[in-house]
């Protein structure tokens, strides 16, 4: 065993890591992110579930193993030659697990709602780089672990039990809290170096503060109701269901508006209805009521007025999302938005548009598309 360890210590890969020690954590974090970006597709696929569960299990084990290094626990064992790679393995799993949230919601039409966790993860990454001890800082290490595990369980538990609502979200968050505090307690009891480096009350206070903050984000609609995602949404001149497909007639925007296919300036004729079409992704066998909440901006009072709240039920499992639409007659000119919400009033996305009522104008670049 000692010969194997010595051979590994003199390997070219080890020398490469030593030469690039400053950038290695970032490289492994990005590597984990890219790996999952290229391989993951649907949260309810067996492959995806296996990869993410393996990531989470591996991360939990490696964090414990890494925190026992300074105790000399792995000296003269097979792990002795691999100790310098443990923080890189942690970074790789951090990157892989954090990418799951971005991947499953990157196609949402409401980026402002789905990017919140990703921004926090990037901030944590930069904080990690600015700290001299980097991932060896146990406060940072366990804080990121809790954030990652919270995201993990809020995805996984609804997929496994085929239900999702606010109570399930709260249960998922509580499970992640228990798992994180259990890991901290177990490591703290087993590792003298950990006891010497951290104050357990301070670390627990940080975790509890994060727990409360994430729940606040959820109830203030800063993060979407995972694992649902608004795949597409647009204002249209007509929507019909034909042979299982939804035929949507809408105005296409100018070519340089690359981030949006449909035009938000809606030319309305007095005798026609205004349609809003949406496609919502949900994991297999999850059934959930959703609503289109129509709002009109009152220029006189400078407030948004709710005009309609029209609901329909979605059923998960379709790759392109569950499709549906609502429509209105006798609309007013001005700015409108349709909030796509769950029965708990959690926002999946927002579709903005402006209605221009002018009988002399005709819609431009009208196209027909099947969904």
Euclidean distance between CA atoms 146 and 98, whole angstroms:
12
Among the ranges given (120-134, 149-163, 215-229), the one the predictor scored with the smallest mean pLDDT: 120-134
Using alpha carbons, list the distances in angstroms from residue 366 to 72, 186, 234, 265: 70, 63, 13, 13
Euclidean distance between CA atoms 267 and 355, whole angstroms:
6
- Laid out side by side, the sheet with 245-251 consists of 238-242, 245-251, 366-370
Q: What is the reported pTM?
A: 0.71
User: 10 Å Cβ neighbour count for 282?
Assistant: 25
- Is residue 345 very low, low, confident or very high in pLDDT (cuts 50, 70, 90)? confident
Give the residue-averaged pLDDT of 16-36: 61
Model confidence over 85-144: pLDDT tens digits? 777 788 777 777 777 666 665 555 455 554 565 566 556 555 554 544 555 678 888 988
The two tokens of residue 320 are 């392109």
What pLDDT was estimated at residue 188? 92
The DSSP letter of residue 77 is S
Q: What is the mean pLDDT of the chain?
A: 79
Domains detected in the chain: 2-219 (no CATH), 229-370 (2.60.40.1930)
Q: Please list the alpha-helical segments (H only) found in the chain.
A: 2-9, 12-19, 24-39, 46-67, 86-105, 111-114, 116-130, 138-161, 166-190, 192-197, 200-219
Model confidence over 191-214: pLDDT tens digits? 888 898 889 999 999 999 999 998
Among the ranges given (57-71, 118-132, 269-283, 309-323), the one the predictor scored with the smallest mean pLDDT: 118-132
Burial environment of residue 342 by CB neighbours within 10 A (0 to 12, 13 to 18, 19 or more): buried
């Amino acid at each position: 065993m000692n010969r194997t360890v010595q051979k590994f210590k003199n390997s070219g890969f080890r020398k490469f890591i030593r030469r690039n020690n400053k950038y290695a954590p970032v490289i492994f974090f990005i590597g984990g992110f890219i790996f999952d970006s290229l391989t993951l597709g649907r949260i309810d696929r067996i492959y995806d579930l296996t990869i993410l569960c393996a990531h989470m299990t591996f991360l939990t084990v490696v964090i414990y193993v890494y925190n026992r290094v300074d105790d000399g626990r792995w000296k003269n064992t097979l792990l002795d030659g691999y100790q310098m790679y443990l923080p890189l393995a942690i970074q790789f799993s951090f990157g892989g697990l954090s990418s799951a949230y971005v991947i499953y919601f990157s196609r949402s039409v409401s980026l402002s709602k789905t990017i919140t966790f990703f921004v926090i993860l990037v901030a944590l990454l930069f904080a990690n780089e600015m700290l001299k001890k980097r991932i060896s800082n146990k406060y940072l290490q366990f804080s990121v672990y809790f954030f990652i595990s919270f995201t993990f369980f809020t995805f996984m538990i609804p997929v496994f039990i085929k239900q999702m609502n606010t109570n399930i979200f709260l249960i998922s968050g509580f499970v992640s809290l228990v798992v994180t505090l259990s890991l901290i307690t177990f490591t703290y009891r087993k590792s003298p170096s950990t006891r010497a480096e951290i104050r357990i009350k301070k670390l627990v206070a940080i975790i509890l503060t994060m727990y409360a903050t994430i729940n606040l984000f959820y109830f203030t609609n800063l993060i979407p109701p995972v694992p649902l995602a608004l795949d597409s949404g647009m204002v249209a001149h007509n929507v019909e269901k034909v042979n299982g497909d939804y035929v949507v007639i809408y105005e296409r925007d100018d070519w340089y508006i690359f981030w949006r296919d449909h035009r938000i300036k809606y030319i309305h004729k007095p005798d026609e209805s205004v349609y809003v079409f949406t496609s919502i992704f949900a994991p297999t066998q999850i059934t959930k009521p959703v609503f289109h909440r129509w709002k009109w901006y009152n220029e006189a009072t400078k407030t948004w007025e709710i005009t309609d709240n029209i609901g329909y039920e979605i059923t998960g499992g379709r790759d392109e999302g569950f499709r549906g639409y609502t429509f209105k007659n006798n609309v007013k000119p001005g700015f409108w938005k349709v909030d796509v919400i769950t029965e708990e009033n959690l926002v999946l996305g927002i579709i903005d548009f402006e209605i221009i009522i002018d009988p002399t104008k005709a819609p431009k670049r009208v196209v027909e598309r099947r969904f």
